[in-house]
Amino acid sequence: MISSAIALQQGAIAGMGLTLLPNWLIDADLQAGTLINAFPNYTVTATDFNTAAWLVYPPRAYIPPKVQMFIEFPKQSISGLAKT
């Protein structure tokens, strides 16, 4: 898991996927066209999230079973928390 906003920013610039970052950090990237706002009709704040987790991994045709299990476990755990 990546917890550094700058590392997430660089990953997004490198085309590794979507990320949620503060406007003050990426305003210049948005203006330069280096990044785009994928959801311009939505705004969020840090207080909108009770639980959040992001997994970043390269796309592959074959994902090893242990990686699939690693991905599924937090998804199930977090969705279980949301239901309680």
**What are the pLDDT digits (tens) for 24-68?**
899 999 999 999 998 888 877 666 555 556 677 777 788 889 888
For residue 83, what pLDDT is reported? Answer: 47
For the packed helices 5-13 and 23-32, what is the interaxial angle rounded to 10 degrees? Answer: 20
Residue at token pair 């920013």: 9
- Measured between alpha carbons, how far is 57 from 43 in angstroms, rounded to an integer? 26
Closest by Cα among 52, 45, 50 to 3:
52
Chain centroid to Cα 51, Å, comes to: 13
For residue 53, what pLDDT is reported? Answer: 63
